[in-house]
Structure 1
Amino acid sequence: MNLITEDSPLILVADDDKVTRACLRQAMEQEGYRVIEANDGESCLATFTRTQPDVVLLDAVMPIMDGFTCCNKLKDLDPEQRTPILMITALEDAESVNHAFESGAVDFVTKPIHWAVLYQRVRRLIKQVRLYAELERANQELKRLATSDGLTQVANRRHFDEYLDQEWQRSQREQAPLSLLLCDIDFFKPFNDTYGHQSGDECLQKIAALLQEAAKRSLDLAARYGGEEFAIILPNTDLEGAEQVAQDIQTNLQDLAIPHRKSQVGEIVTISMGVATTIPVPFIAPRMLIEAADRALYQAKDSGRNCYRTFQLP
């Protein structure tokens, strides 16, 4: 018997016959798979939802809910069909085989079970599941790389633009407030000139991490806007809420205390921020919110830096 671990593939066996379930369990466990059982269609659906198995071995002929109906319902629970279903049936006619595939099964074996065939088909399905999972992870990583800034790991400008447009449309539909923070590191060029570009990169990474932490909710987005400029999109946030985020950023940055002896506003790294808020309407474009935040940012710089200023669009 192969060693079974917590990482071993999980097989859901659904069959109303206790002896068949026991035989299938023994056969699958000998292959090194974990096994969980269901004795009818309803318990199969409940167990599937609770455990998310790698493969389902499903009997076609069961009382109350037959395997074809159960298979259809499993397909509804798993619309992307990440979990393959192998139908086990004593019905060998073409109509029943077609019915099995139309219901969502990806393969079948007939009763009495030819065990060597079952082993081979389950192995193939497990391999497909693993390959699909690897492909999905690779796609997620490619998506992350395409939408993240390589240095700071927060969202890049492209993602910022797409997300702002998305949230603008949603906020317009829901008539909800949308806020934007534009942040600029004060006297960053003198910092680079004094401490070197590696220290400059580390400074950008620390600021990005601090802003990422300030974007606490799942809807909030921290992004590198360009160079030493960052932005935070705050959906469903009014001006008061956005100001609170800005104040938290200032407090946390003060506590971080990154040395900057060439700064003209103290001995540590500081940032200036522009805060803008609006409830989007059809005749205003998202760039208007950016321009408002940018105007507030320049007001903060004109006011001596290391502060924030606000602008509320009508």
Structure 2
Amino acid sequence: MKATAEESQSLVLIVDDDPFIRLILRNCLEREGYQIAEAENGIEAINLFEQLHPHIVLLDAIMPDMDGFECCTQLELLDCNKHTPVLMITGLNDQETVDRAFAVGAIDFVTKPIHWPVLRQRVKRLIQQSQLQRELEAKNLELLRLVTIDGLTQVANRRRFEEYFYQVWQRLKREQRPLSLILCDVDFFKLYNDTYGHRVGDRCLQKIAQAFQDIIKRPGDLVARYGGEEFAVILPNTDTKGATHVADIICHAVRALAIPHQNSQVGSYVTISVGFTTEIPQPDSNLEEIIAAADRALYEAKAAGRDRFVQNILLPKSKNSR
């Protein structure tokens, strides 16, 4: 049975120092519909692997300079080799050789002289298994995304916020680096929903979340929907000056959206209140303290008239306070 249309697009990298063996392998596999690339030694194989990203490697065990075992070991170290099977071709069938082949990362092996029907079936099976593994990983990543992303705003959800905040907290506690947390609340959002309806309210939250995403772009930062109309921003390795700058920008960005809010008590457009704090996590502190400090700052921003940001400075604990 020939390869399916999908499998026919699969690229097989043949690695053998014997040109005659490479020719026979090429002819055999091309008849099955596979695309072929060839390398005559281990070094060339590694270079071609990085360039072409083949779907499977047929690797001769015994070659000069770099043998198949060393080549397989090197291929295993490449980031792009996550799901690429290596089928070792060896003239030896002793226990030590077989164990060594699997130890260096080969998925399977065939012995010389090659039994061609066996080779064809093993190549087909290994490519299918590799494709299924890739598909499964992609589905698992999508499931992980679904359970950590807020369905409405497409930013991180509360669960992801709590998980990530704990990870960052622990890391920065070890590194003794600053961590800033910003909490935001859409001003008079209940009145907004009462005035325009919940669907329009949903679109309002989506626009605000997108504005945050457009601003918060560092790989380590995180924007999350903290609840209802509340958002949180985690800023690792960010001092007070940096957090103040971000708080100012996001307040301005929401104003710049110019989303009409005729019943707002601070103007005619949607605004946000922001509270934030910065701390270098200490061995005797906990992450609940920084959340509570940011929440108090948010409350102060609301009490002071909304449409503004307020910082709450966490004072170091005294030795006698424990």
TM-score (norm 1): 0.92
Tell me the percent identity: 56
C-alpha displacement of 1:230? 0.5
SS at match of 1:63: coil
Amino acid at match of 1:246: A
Give the aligned partner of residue 183 of structure 1. 184
Partner of 2:320: none
Question: Which residue does the alignment assign to 2:16?
Answer: 15
Describe the shift of the 1:80–1:22 C-alpha distance in structure 2 as closer, same or farther (beyond 3 A): closer
Q: What SS does the corresponding residue of 2:263 show, helix, strand or coil?
A: coil
Contact kept, 8 Å, 1:186 with 1:306, in 2: the verdict is: yes
Letter in structure 1 aligned against 2:83: R
Q: Is 2:159 the counterpart of 1:158?
A: yes
CA–CA distance in structure 2, aligned partners of residues 288 and 258 of structure 1: 34
| 1:199 CA displacement | 0.9
Partner of residue 58, structure 1: 59
Question: 2:110 matched to which residue of 1?
Answer: 109
Alignment of 1:281-296 (within 5 A): 281-296=282-297
Residue 176 of structure 1: CA displacement? 1.0
Query: What amino acid does structure 1 have at the position aligned with 2:139?
Result: A
Contact 2:7 2:34 in 1 (8 A): no
Counterpart in the other structure of 1:196: 197
1:174 aligned partner, one-letter code: E
Deviation at 1:91, TM superposition (A): 2.1
Corresponding position of 2:303: 302
Shift of 1:6: 12
Q: CA 1:30–1:258 in structure 2 vs 1: closer, same or farther (change >3 Å)?
A: farther
Q: What is the match of residue 138 of structure 2?
A: 137
- Residues 188-208 of structure 1 show CA distances to partners (whole Å, capped at 9, x for unaligned) of 001111111111111111111
Q: Which residue of 2 aligns with 1:241?
A: 242
Q: Distance in 1 between matches of 2:31 and 2:273?
A: 65
Asked whether the 8 Å contact 1:4–1:34 carries over to 2, the reply is no
Structure 1 residue 34, shift from structure 2 partner: 2.9
Q: What root-mean-square deviation, in Å, do the aligned CA atoms of Structure 1 and Structure 2 show?
A: 2.3
Amino acid at match of 2:12: I
User: Who is 1:255 aligned against?
Assistant: 256
Distance 1:6 1:260, change over 3 A: farther
Q: Is the 8 A contact 1:13 1:56 kept in 2?
A: yes
3-state SS in 1 of match to 2:225? strand
Give the aligned residue type for 2:257. L
Q: List aligned pairs for 1:90-101, cutoff 5 A.
A: 90-101=91-102
* TM-score (normalised: structure 2): 0.90
Structure 1 contact 149–156 (Cα < 8 Å) conserved: yes
Residues paired across the two proteins, number: 314
Structure 2: how far apart are the matches of 1:186 and 1:7? Answer: 58
Deviates more, 1:182-191 or 1:162-171: 162-171
- Structure 1 stretch displaced more, 16-25 or 157-166: 16-25
1:278 aligned residue:
279
Query: Does the CA contact (< 8 Å) of 1:147 and 1:158 recur in 2?
Result: yes
Partner of 1:312: helix, strand, or coil? coil
Runs ≥4 residues deviating over 6 A: 1-7
- With over 3 angstroms needed to count, the CA separation of the structure-2 counterparts of 1:264 and 1:214, relative to structure 1, is same
Change (3 A) 1:7 1:249: farther
Q: Distance in 1 between matches of 2:256 and 2:79?
A: 48
